[in-house]
Amino acid sequence: MNLSIVEYPDKSLRKISQEVKEFSSELHILLDAMYPIMMNTNGIGLAAIQVAHALRVLILNIPNEDGEQPKENLLEIINPHITAKSGEALYQEGCLSVPQFYEDIKRFETVSISYQDRDGNTKVLEADGLLSIAIQHEIDHLEGVLFIDKLSYSRRKKFEKEYKRMKKEQKES
């Protein structure tokens, strides 16, 4: 499967992703193709909609203390639901679909989720720290929401201006 990252302002990022009903080889092929694209682009999280598949599928691989991302730490999360959330945390986020832009975003500090794995088994996970932030960021993608949507009006305007300039410079070179 040949995947590429869809970048803002592509409107397909605004689609609502659909629940996975069949835990078939097609799903496994998608998951297996998402992993290398995330690693090769220095990502820690990727939702299927970012590779043009509007399914409630996301992967996460949070770096350990040494900054490494061994494949054993890969999380494959399908049909997630947030079951509990608490606290507040500010973290400088980025997104593979919004390259070269990072801003502080306010999220819950801790979230609990229930989800399914690639075989359809139900799992639960309580997360804090970067994993919690990443889960919330990726679940937003399933609803067509980007982290830039959470910026204040003035910061969003600043972003649009900087981003347009960057895209223009990319085209010219």
Q: Which residues bind ligand QAP (CB under 6 A)?
A: 41-45, 91, 93-96, 99-100, 130, 133-134, 137
The backbone torsions φ and ψ at residue 63, rounded to the nearest 5 degrees and listed phi first, read -60, 145
CA dist 132 and 70 (Å) reads: 19
- HEC states along 71-96? HHHCEEEEEEEEEEEECCEEEEECCC
Beta bridge partners of 115: 123
C-beta of 100: minimal distance to ligand QAP in Å? 5
Is 138 catalytic? The answer is: yes
Q: Which of 138, 143, 160, 162 is catalytic?
A: 138
C-beta of 45: minimal distance to ligand QAP in Å? 4
The C-alpha angle with vertex 10 and arms to 8 and 11, in degrees rounded to 5, equals: 120
Cα–Cα distances in Å, from 23 out to 27, 29, 82, 110, 146?
Answer: 6, 11, 21, 29, 27
Count of residues that bind Co ion according to CB under 5 A: 1
- Under the binding rule (CB under 5 A), the answer on residue 95 touching Co ion is yes
Whichever of 55 and 137 has its CB closer to ligand QAP, that residue is: 137
User: Alpha-carbon torsion 98, 134, 147, 8, what sign?
Assistant: positive
93 binds, among ligand QAP, Co ion, none (CB under 5 to 8 A by kind): ligand QAP
- Under the binding rule (CB under 5 A), the answer on residue 57 touching Co ion is no
C-beta of 92: minimal distance to ligand QAP in Å? 7
Whichever of 78 and 135 has its CB closer to ligand QAP, that residue is: 135
C-beta of 24: minimal distance to ligand QAP in Å? 27
Q: What does R_g of the chain's alpha carbons equal in angstroms?
A: 16
Whichever of 50 and 79 has its CB closer to Co ion, that residue is: 50
Chain contacts with Co ion (rule: CB under 5 A): 95
